[in-house]
Structure 1
């Protein structure tokens, strides 16, 4: 574990384990342990918080003069370059996540506003619903592309550990592990936003069963762990596919849609704040790596 690293005396790093190493170890262990948990907005929000703490520890470690001296050595520049490349790719993934959240939020808020004002009557509302569903398909397409691009980064992060018997190599291996766990969380995040893998267009009854199951789980457990993105999509798909006359004036249908859209809005707000904070922290870490080479 990280807490046991850097025992030997070195010209580049302290001879005793730095307290930051124990903190890094703790954060990594917490994130690894959470990989087996079911994906929910609550769990993802928690992982984003832990990731911020993890990258804060990394940044503090990179600011240590002895760490900078060790990584700045000519024979370690290639490792630092690889870490910089990984950090840039992670920032691109984080940006893709932010874009997906922002796009969905904009259409969600516009749809909620249309429902409140009933602007354009039934036809106007139907148009906004279809705009939202179309935007979700576009966002999911972009996410699918981003997930495909992640395969190259996963290979980068899964390189075999360097074993040269020195503390700098141990540090590089640890920083690679940080990038790997960050990638894992962001990948899970993107998958959560897009929902399950695209299947054939859901039938009327499959949408009904999904919504009914959601209510049953919520009532039995007191709170739901369902995916807010998926539930909002299902409610709107059900609405546009419903054959009931005057469906947009049906109180139960509209109440269900408004409820899921509100839950989605709250979910996005929370995840958006966590993503923005993580992005800023990752930028700061990248700047610290760049300063080491300059």
Structure 2
């Protein structure tokens, strides 16, 4: 009779192997393939806000595979119990970051709605100044969250590379890293590439010199256009600016919905890990 791929929990506590049991379920292969694809796509640079929605959808599909994986008996038995608390803590941090990003995006959307309404009515400099002040505060919050994210990712990366880390635990930590990596890229994108130390530094993003061109994203473009208005530079692009704001508002709303679904997905995965721990 062929040896069983199942191992006792006692043996697993001291396992150093990073391979799955030799006779794995097909779901394991599907999970591995999807994880590899998501890792590869995570290295791509996003060119617009809507691309993050697509990447978030791919990540949510990965969590569907993860949920299927965690229901397999031999995978549950291959889960070192002393590592479950570490995993659960990691997923709790991912949930906290996801919630913080949802709140930041909600504020960004609301600020754009208020500004769009003001531009339709009055086009006053006070409204633009108020928006830019709010945007500056939001950027500071994002920079703080980015700093925290880098620290969490560094710890997770160190933990996943420990020689005693089993295969399933290592891959679940990899998922945390990929998720946090996407959150970091999203925050960096929304934060923008430019600095708001002055109106002219922002204006340079849309009027680069011949010797130096700066790549700016849609957040930079809107901020720069508003700074140009605030500096009383003549412009006839109010309508174009309003169209940009409307498009960004719609994209942020779609991304918000995606993050809400993903947040619930994260909770489900954490509950599955808790069930394994309790049984």
Normalised by the size of structure 1, how large is the TM-score?
0.78
Q: Give, in whole Å, the separation in 2 of the partners of 1:23 and 1:235.
A: 47
Distance in 2 between the 1:32 and 1:271 partners?
20
Query: In structure 2, how many angstroms separate the alpha carbons of the residues matched to 1:286 and 1:100?
Result: 24
- C-alpha change, 1:115 and 1:197, in structure 2 (3 Å) is closer
What do the CA deviations read for 1:99-156 (whole angstroms, capped 9, x no partner)? 111001011112222233x1xx45xx33322222122111111111111112331122
TM-score, length basis structure 2: 0.82
Alignment counterpart, residue 288 of structure 1, candidates 260, 268, 272:
272
Aligned match of 1:221: none
Alpha-carbon deviations, 1:173-218, whole Å to 9, x = none? 11111111111111101101101163642527515426xxxxxxxx
Unaligned runs of 5+ in 1: 1-6, 211-224, 245-249
Does structure 2 conserve the Cα–Cα contact (< 8 Å) formed by 1:162 and 1:170? no
**Aligned match for 1:177, one of 174, 182, 185:** 174
Query: Does the CA-based 8 Å contact 2:189-2:217 persist in structure 1?
Result: yes
Alpha-carbon contact 1:235-1:256 (below 8 Å) kept = no
2:12 corresponds to which residue? none
Q: Residues 118-197 of structure 1: matches in 2 within 5 Å?
A: 118=121, 121-122=122-123, 125-159=124-158, 160-163=160-163, 169-196=166-193
Question: Given the superposition, is the C-alpha separation of residues 186 and 33 from structure 1 closer, same or farther in structure 2, using an over 3 Å criterion?
Answer: same
Which residue of 52, 59, 62 corresponds with 2:67?
59
- Give 1:23-38 correspondences, 5 Å limit: 23-38=30-45
2:88–2:273: 8 Å Cα contact kept in structure 1? yes
| Distance in structure 2 (CA, Å) of the matches to 1:183 and 1:65 | 28
Question: Where does residue 9 of structure 1 map in the other structure?
Answer: 5
Q: Deviations over 1:47-79 (max 9, x none)?
A: 1011101111112211223333443xxxx2321
Q: Give CA-to-partner distance per residue, 1:20-50, whole Å, 9 cap, x none.
A: 2222222222222224422232432221011
Please name the residue that 1:98 is paired with: 102
Q: Would the aligned equivalents of 2:192 and 2:219 in 1 still touch at CA under 8 Å?
A: yes
State how 1:110-121 maps to structure 2 within 5 Å.
110-116=114-120, 118=121, 121=122
> Structure 1 pair 197/92, CA: closer, same or farther in 2 (3 Å)?
farther
Give the match for residue 47 of structure 1: 55
Report if the CA contact (8 A) 1:24-1:54 is conserved: yes
Residue 78 of structure 2 contacts residue 168 of structure 2 at CA under 8 Å; is this kept in 1?
A: no
Cα distance between partner residues in 2 of 1:23 and 1:187 = 26
1:78 paired with 2:75, answer: no
CA contact 1:143–1:190 (8 Å) conserved in 2: yes
1:258-273 map, 5 Å: 258-273=242-257
Distance 1:257 1:18, change over 3 A: same
Q: Is the 8 A contact 1:61 1:67 kept in 2?
A: yes
**Root mean square deviation of aligned Cα:** 2.6
Structure 2: state its 5+ residue gaps: 9-19, 209-214
Aligned partners of 1:157 and 1:180 also within 8 Å:
yes
Count, aligned residues: 256
Tell me how far apart the structure 2 counterparts of residues 151 and 115 of structure 1 sit (CA, whole Å). 37
Matches within 5 A, 1:168-247: 169-196=166-193, 198=195, 200-203=197-200, 206-209=204-207, 227-244=217-234
